[in-house]
Amino acid sequence: FQYCAPSRYVKPLAKKQSAVLFSFGGALMKYANAPIPLPFTTLGYAYGLTNKTTVYANLHSTSALFSNLQFDLGATILLYEKQNKFGFSVSPALQSAYNIRNKTGFRVWPSVDLNYFLHFKNKPSYLYLGVNTWIEFSQYKAHHAVQQKHMIPNLQLGYTRVREKWQHQFEIKYLGLGVPNLPNVVEYYGISGKGAFGLFYSLIRKF
């Protein structure tokens, strides 16, 4: 459940447009018999190379508080859009983590998002549905356990409220599809002991 962030820029920015992002949320865990999302935060910047391609970089700020340098670099590419109605986009990215304190554990995971978005009544806000996949190259997990899965799929459903300068993004994810969530440090809300549901919010300022 290391994928602790929502989908990035389901629809690309306009050409030469910039944006800064703050996101909050994570997998749902049980705390005092109530479901709460892990409080992961990220800070990021994006730039529209063209009207169909946006590049972005994000720092996982909560991880940084615990001496872990974690970030993601990627791009969102518009595959097809029927103007103001629906379309598809793909977002290839690299996820990376490094323990600053111990100077160990540098890891890189390629990932890719494929999203379908749908507008309502020709308005700029949109609903989206998609799948994300992480690729795990390592043969071992923590404590030298053998890594059984090298492709880790996640599902997402979200809504982006679009205004002239601001965007509000709300997303629910099903993380680690088919991956056992026990034993673990916390109790996650999954399905039949596998995966975990996650909730996320992103605030985006365009300029």
pTM equals 0.89
d(CA 32, CA 58) in angstroms, rounded, equals 32
Q: What is the pLDDT of residue 185?
A: 76
H/E element holding 22?
strand 18-31
Q: What is the pLDDT of residue 3?
A: 57
Q: What is the pLDDT of residue 103?
A: 73
Q: What is the pLDDT of residue 201?
A: 97
Question: pLDDT tens string for the chain (207 positions)?
Answer: 455 789 999 999 999 999 999 999 999 998 888 889 988 999 999 999 999 999 999 999 998 888 888 999 999 999 999 988 999 999 999 999 888 887 767 888 999 999 999 998 889 999 999 999 988 766 655 555 666 666 889 999 999 999 999 999 999 999 988 888 877 778 889 898 889 999 999 999 999
d(CA 77, CA 52) in angstroms, rounded, equals 6
List of residues 6+ apart from 136 with CB closer than 8 A: 109, 147, 149, 150, 151, 152
Q: What is the pLDDT of residue 1?
A: 44
d(CA 76, CA 56) in angstroms, rounded, equals 8
Q: What is the pLDDT of residue 14?
A: 96
